[in-house]
Amino acid sequence: MASRVVVSGLLFLLCCCGLGDEAKGRGNLYLEEHVEMENQLKFINKPAIKTIQNKNGDVIDCININQQLAFDHPLLKNHSIQQNFSFHKDGNNERLMSDALYSMSDLGERCPPGTIPIKRTKKDEIIRLKSFLKSVGKSSNLLRPLGSTPSPRAHWAILQSNEGKYLGASAWLNICGLQGVKSDQFSQTVITVLNGIIGPSQNYNVIQVGWMVNPMLYGDLQTRLTVFWTTDGYQTVHCYNQLCPGFVQVSSNIALGSVLGDQGDDRFLSFFIYKDGVTGDWCFTMETLTGVENIGYWPKSIFRSLGDHASLIQWGGVASSPANEKSPPMGNGKFPSNGGARVIKIRMIDENGHIQEPKGDALLYADKPECYVTSKLSKDRAAGQFFSFGGPGGCVGWDISIKEKMEIENHDKLMNKPTTKTFKTKDGDVIDCVDVNEQPTLDHPLLKNHSIQLRPSFYSTDHIDKSLPIINMSRFKNEECPAGTIPIKRTTREDLIGFKNIRETGEFLKIFHPSDFSPPKGVHDQNTGNWWLELEGEGHQPEPIGYWPKDIFTSLNVNPITVQWGGNVYSPPNIKSPAMGNGHFPDEKGVTAASVNNIYLVDDKHQLKEPSGDKEKLIVDRKDCYGVSKLENVGQHLNWMFRYGGPGGCLN
């Protein structure tokens, strides 16, 4: 039990920010924080068998390999260390010029057998780490899937694989020194494997290996060997190097966080991350002048979506700075046309364990070409598949004008009303309990004198099979909003900017109007004409969520309407479309696709009607990526239903 309490304390270190003004140093820390920090230092810094001070001034502790921090992870209490990694290499692992490989001679002397080198953590590092994680929030890893909502802090120049099932990735990364990275910025060059993009945010898993210049994390401007991972979509786990449990180190020669001092346009380190063919763990290997070095591994048991495979791989650079500050340089600080940094010998491992090379340059992407650029993906005999990337930086967050910033500020105030109570859900969302009569919808110019309708005047449960399982919609733990208030998810400025970007993509939801389809008439609340949204809650009782007043519509309160059920997806141009439903085709063997069940209509007399089965149209616009089954009445508790969805992968 004691060990579990310590782990919780570590998560507090990594995720909470209760230090006040860190810039004023230790003098401002409260006594309790001093005690907490000392406990955390004892937890992270295990007893040393030997201590080394390297040429860069870092203190390296040689600790018993079986007493490393990884085994304080609650899922690794009885874990047996894997000393030898299992992966079959094919004949395509030819060496580049040997003098291009980096020599890892940072330690100066070796740790004794049975021990591993761990960079000692100091109190000021913990203070900086808290400040760093506070500044980046849930975006401490800023390489995101292309097409996702960007962070206002981040810019990147990367190569991204197509979506698929991958068991590993490798590349030689240019080792570069960077000047001009400010104390609240960072710049990195990395290989990233990730999964869990679709689904609950806590299933989003990321592993990243490479190098980073990060004054807030390391306290200097040195280029340092860095690994990062999250097992819960950045909710509580933001793990760097050996600062929290999870990564099992086996190398007795290389310490994570080491300075990479041998830098230059012709200096490379070979990074290889892959799933062990026997254990399924994610292994990290480097190749240096002295040969192949197994650094360590992440046991598959600590992951959710990455436990099986990675769905995307990324290679390249990311630079981060506060949204109102010019961004730092990336790569070696030069554009590709002027000798930018390179990622060479790019490879990935497919689901069958075969080594493949990425093809084409459709997924090469730089979000700010005036500050960072990627070259085309090329190939030659010496460097294999490679591209150049980077730039001098100088971009400021998103390109938002002063007028747009003021609009966002005003919209933020308009959306977030005074709250009676505030709490956080288990998913990390902030929920404000707002007076029902002060909710944002009543700011609509047509609803100034609107009287709230608390319950719909029409509902029938005659069509419901009470044996049908109902999803528990309670996401608020044990919290409840007081009477007379409603729960509203707090809107952040990042939400508003992201929504602005989505809105600028234009209309992407297609509405079909087949000429031979006679749709049923629309249904209003029989007394008010409002359009209600209800969910079925516990005990199959209707839960009224809210309604759209008829006053805000033109055609929906008088004309016949078309009703549609099913799924739709969106992706930017030249980016493959995402999965729909649960990602499976309706006719896919061995799996069950997503479904829409218990389909009913309400006619203009407020009577429930079943589908006719012959007037409805089943429509799929891209049958190579998505499908739909026939509409049929299967009885039991599903009644009228159809299945739909698919893996995606279409280009607009």
Report residue 333 as tokens.
């600080």
Give the model confidence (pLDDT) of 416-432 as tens digits. 888 889 888 877 788 99
Q: Which of 95-109, 327-341, 606-620 has the highest mean pLDDT?
A: 327-341
Helix/strand/coil for 636:
coil
Nearest to 60 by CA among 105, 113, 111, 123: 111
Report residue 325 as tokens.
């500050």
pLDDT grade for 541, boundaries at 50, 70 and 90? low
| Pairwise CA distance, residues 228 & 137, whole Å | 15
| Pairwise CA distance, residues 173 & 175, whole Å | 6
Average pLDDT for 182-197: 92
Give the model confidence (pLDDT) of 233-291 as tens digits. 877 788 999 989 999 999 998 999 999 988 888 889 999 999 998 999 999 999 877 77
Report residue 107 as tokens.
């330690």
pLDDT grade for 178, boundaries at 50, 70 and 90? very high
Contact 177, 263 (CB under 8 A): yes
Give alpha helix (H) positions in 421-559.
493-503
The predicted pLDDT at position 33 comes to: 72
Nearest to 252 by CA among 54, 56, 59, 63: 63
Nearest to 280 by CA among 296, 294, 251, 301: 301
Per the DSSP assignment, residues forming a β-bridge with 387 are: 343
Helix/strand/coil for 631:
coil
pLDDT at 582 over 70: yes
| Pairwise CA distance, residues 632 & 133, whole Å | 52
The predicted pLDDT at position 266 comes to: 84
CB atoms within 10 A of CB 256: 23
Give residue 242's Cα distance to chain centre: 21
Burial class (CB in 10 A: 0-12, 13-18, 19+), 253: middle
Give the model confidence (pLDDT) of 513-532 as tens digits. 333 333 333 345 777 888 88
Residue in this structure with the two tokens 């380190």, named with its chain if needed = 269
Q: How wide is the angle at C-alpha 502 spanned by C-alphas 315 and 142, nearest 5°?
A: 30
Nearest to 236 by CA among 3, 479, 14, 495: 14
The predicted pLDDT at position 337 comes to: 95
**Crossing angle of helices 402-415/493-503, nearest 10°?**
120
pLDDT grade for 86, boundaries at 50, 70 and 90? confident
Give the model confidence (pLDDT) of 480-499 as tens digits. 899 999 999 988 766 666 56
Q: How wide is the angle at C-alpha 574 spanned by C-alphas 569 and 578, nearest 5°?
A: 25
The pLDDT > 90 percentage for the chain reads 37
| Pairwise CA distance, residues 578 & 238, whole Å | 26
pLDDT at 540 over 80: no
More confident residue, 81 or 570: 81
pLDDT grade for 135, boundaries at 50, 70 and 90? low
Contact 7, 74 (CB under 8 A): yes
Give the model confidence (pLDDT) of 596-607 as tens digits. 888 877 777 777
The predicted pLDDT at position 263 comes to: 85
Average pLDDT for 50-68: 91
* Averaged pLDDT score across all residues of the chain: 78
| Pairwise CA distance, residues 127 & 173, whole Å | 30
Nearest to 288 by CA among 87, 106, 112: 106
More confident residue, 461 or 630: 630
Burial class (CB in 10 A: 0-12, 13-18, 19+), 245: buried
The predicted pLDDT at position 24 comes to: 41
| Pairwise CA distance, residues 4 & 477, whole Å | 22
User: What separation in angstroms does the CA of 420 have from each of 433, 453, 478, 480?
Assistant: 6, 21, 17, 12
pLDDT at 26 over 60: no
Report residue 482 as tokens.
């007081």
pLDDT grade for 612, boundaries at 50, 70 and 90? confident
**Crossing angle of helices 123-136/31-44, nearest 10°?**
100
HSE-up (13 A, CA, CB side) for residue 309: 13
| Pairwise CA distance, residues 326 & 372, whole Å | 13
pLDDT at 545 over 70: yes
User: Taking phi first (over 0 means left), then psi (-120 to 50 degrees means alpha), and beta for anything else, what does residue 369 get?
Assistant: alpha
The predicted pLDDT at position 94 comes to: 40
Long-range pairs for 535-541: beta carbons < 8 A, 24 or more residues apart: 535/473, 536/464, 536/470, 537/470, 537/473, 538/470, 538/472, 540/461, 540/464, 540/466, 540/468, 540/470, 541/461
